[in-house]
Chain A
Amino acid sequence: MSFWHTAQNLDRRIIYVVLFLVVTYVLIKPIGLPIVVNRETQRAYDAVDKLAAGSILFVSADYGSSSIPEMLPAEKAVLRHVFRKGLKVIAGGMWNEAGAMHDLAWQEVSKDFPDKKYGVDFVNVGYKPGAGVLLERMISDAHQALLGIDFYSKNFSDLPLMGEFKTMKDAKMVFAFTSGDPGEKEWVKMVTDPLRMPFATAATAVAVPGQMPLLQSGQIIGILKGMGGAAEYELLVKSPGSAIAGMDAQSATHILMVLFIVLGNLGYLMTRKQTT
């Protein structure tokens, strides 16, 4: 069997092993490739930066534990930015792991902001069922829609920040971390378009192309595109984290996949040439 025939019919296990080895090596020994902030990330950052101190930002975790590597670093970076600006955060979501994701982010970020208090600067209302129906109800009565208790089963009456947040109209902006449905479409349809509210997202890389029409129409101000967007935001808030650390591995993986694709195509073309 010729080399080119083998090249176009590589055993997939070889691909898996090589991928694993390269990713592991680069994670252990990073290269330090420069990261440049793109305009969509900058727009999202500027939108948060423009908010006045004391404004309420609604942060929505519409992702599950499988998307943690892309979404959680983005959420932590955004929270750092928000706390530095003196903004307040109501954290909820349409996915059933929303509360858990916010809890992970808050537990880590709050260590760097000891002056920020739960219930005063940040409230995790967790997941409540209903998706688009939930969002629609939050426009008229957020407390009733959110069932009056937070993720830790505390009553809203015990949380001072909830006294300032009675409906979605009390929030100045929505920042959604989305990895599927329900996600940004529900936010645009039910809340941000009707209320003409600024809306930014952090999306998993595969979901980004689907959000581009909303970005171009101005219904989304800015998008953090996957782990790259999270890394750029970490750069903007000057708090390097796991997203920046993972970008070298992502670069290496993409290059390796391209090399395999090129090898496969060379094998195909050379074999076809030999046959003709």
Chain B
Amino acid sequence: MRREGPVIFAAIAGLAVIISGLFATDALKVVKDELDQWYLITTAFMVLVGLINLNLLHVRKISQKKEGWGYSIVLLAGMYFFIVFGLMRGSLGDAQYGWAYNATIVPMSATTFSLLMFYIGSASYRAFRARTAEATVLLLSAVVMMIGVVPIGRVIWSRLPDITSWILDYPNTAGIRGIQLGACIGGMATALRILVGIERGHLGGEG
């Protein structure tokens, strides 16, 4: 029952949601709304699971004085500061909590995101080599796109933005549509396998 129970529950819940989406039934809509609420509440409780794991991991690191244990203290201090401060002040809408958030999380997120500029530079330099015919096509289209989408592209050649738009509108969109269609079908097949109980990877170690 330990394995069958979750499979049966997933099948019933999944079918209830699917049928309520396909058919105009008030009864199943009530079930779906209730399941939606359960999902939201369960997801919120899962944050607690993550919190507990973070605590266990870093407290163990500190107590055993493993390499980098000082950073674990910083992490736990930062985490509990925001938890306590947030509980005291309410939400991001509070001026002081908002300030603390804007002064720390926002610049740190933006900084890490900004690393992408450097990484894309080194990745492009390394990857875009004309080793094969396909690689050459990739290289040429990447170069045309990179120049065409910025203002200097029009300065270099007035037709370049039109070529860029054509690449975006036709070959790109066709490829994206194909990938998205395939991915959607793959997702549906995965969901169907879970509903009928063939796929059990999410239960831990099977399927």
Direct contact of A and B (CB under 8 A): yes
Interface positions of A (Cβ within 8 A of B): 8, 10, 12, 15-16, 19-20, 23, 33-36, 38, 64-69, 97, 99-100, 103-104, 126, 129-130, 133, 150-153, 205, 208-210, 212-213, 216, 225, 228, 247-248, 250-258, 260-262, 264-265, 268-269
Task: State whether A258 touches B147 (Cβ < 8 A).
Answer: yes
Task: State whether A133 touches B165 (Cβ < 8 A).
Answer: no
Task: State whether A251 touches B125 (Cβ < 8 A).
Answer: no
B188 at the interface (CB under 8 A from A): no
B91 at the interface (CB under 8 A from A): yes
Please give me the residue from chain B that is nearest to A213 by CB atom. B177
Task: State whether A261 touches B176 (Cβ < 8 A).
Answer: no
The answer for the CA separation of A255 and B151 in the assembled complex, in Å, is 11
The answer for the CA separation of A253 and B112 in the assembled complex, in Å, is 18
Task: State whether A264 touches B172 (Cβ < 8 A).
Answer: no
Contact of B151 among A99, A216, A247 (CB under 8 A): A247
Closest CB pairs A-B (n = 5):
A66-B113, A251-B152, A33-B151, A65-B106, A152-B93
Q: How far is the CB of B124 from chain A (nearest CB, A)?
A: 6
**Contacts A38-B165, A69-B110 supplied; 10 other A-B pairs, CB < 8 Å:** A19-B117, A19-B118, A35-B151, A65-B109, A68-B110, A100-B101, A216-B173, A254-B152, A256-B121, A261-B139
Task: State whether A100 touches B120 (Cβ < 8 A).
Answer: no
Interface positions of B (Cβ within 8 A of A): 36, 39-40, 43-44, 90-93, 98, 101-102, 105-106, 109-110, 112-113, 117-118, 120-122, 124-126, 128-131, 139, 142-143, 146-147, 149-155, 161, 165, 168-169, 172-173, 176-177, 180
Task: State whether B180 touches A213 (Cβ < 8 A).
Answer: yes
The answer for the CA separation of A34 and B155 in the assembled complex, in Å, is 8
**Chain A residues in 8 Å Cβ range of B39:** 133
A23, A151, A225, A251, most chain B CB atoms within 10 A = A251
Secondary structure dominating the interface of B: helix
Contact of A36 with B146 at beta-carbon distance under 8 Å, contacts A130-B36, A212-B169, A212-B172 already known: no
Please give me the residue from chain B that is nearest to A247 by CB atom. B151
**Chain B residues in 8 Å Cβ range of A129:** 40, 43-44
Task: State whether B152 touches A210 (Cβ < 8 A).
Answer: no
Contact of B128 among A247, A253, A261 (CB under 8 A): A261
Please give me the residue from chain A that is nearest to B179 by CB atom. A210
When A and B form their complex, what is the total count of cross-chain residue pairs whose Cβ atoms lie within 8 Å? 146
Task: State whether A99 touches B93 (Cβ < 8 A).
Answer: yes
Task: State whether B121 touches A257 (Cβ < 8 A).
Answer: yes
Contact of A66 among B93, B98, B109, B124 (CB under 8 A): B109
**Chain A residues in 8 Å Cβ range of B110:** 65-66, 68-69
Please give me the residue from chain A that is nearest to B167 by CB atom. A209
Task: State whether B147 touches A254 (Cβ < 8 A).
Answer: yes
Contact of A209 with B172 at beta-carbon distance under 8 Å, contacts A68-B110, A258-B147 already known: yes
Task: State whether A260 touches B121 (Cβ < 8 A).
Answer: yes
**Chain A residues in 8 Å Cβ range of B120:** 257
Task: State whether B98 touches A67 (Cβ < 8 A).
Answer: no
Task: State whether A250 touches B92 (Cβ < 8 A).
Answer: no
Contact of A65 with B150 at beta-carbon distance under 8 Å, contacts A16-B122, A212-B169 already known: no
Task: State whether B40 touches A261 (Cβ < 8 A).
Answer: no
**Chain B residues in 8 Å Cβ range of A262:** 143
A and B contact pairs by CB, cutoff 8 A, 21 listed: A15-B125, A19-B117, A34-B154, A36-B161, A64-B109, A65-B110, A100-B92, A100-B106, A126-B91, A133-B40, A152-B93, A205-B149, A209-B176, A212-B173, A213-B173, A213-B176, A250-B150, A254-B146, A260-B124, A265-B139, A269-B130
The answer for the CA separation of A67 and B112 in the assembled complex, in Å, is 11
Task: State whether A210 touches B149 (Cβ < 8 A).
Answer: no
Task: State whether A228 touches B150 (Cβ < 8 A).
Answer: yes
Task: State whether A151 touches B92 (Cβ < 8 A).
Answer: yes
Contact of B93 among A8, A126, A258, A260 (CB under 8 A): A126
Task: State whether A100 touches B176 (Cβ < 8 A).
Answer: no
Contact of A16 with B121 at beta-carbon distance under 8 Å, contacts A66-B109, A129-B40, A130-B36 already known: yes
Q: How far is the CB of A14 from chain B (nearest CB, A)?
A: 10
A104, A151, A208, A261, most chain B CB atoms within 10 A = A261
**Chain B residues in 8 Å Cβ range of A252:** 152
Task: State whether A33 touches B143 (Cβ < 8 A).
Answer: no
Task: State whether B165 touches A265 (Cβ < 8 A).
Answer: no
**Chain B residues in 8 Å Cβ range of A213:** 173, 176-177, 180
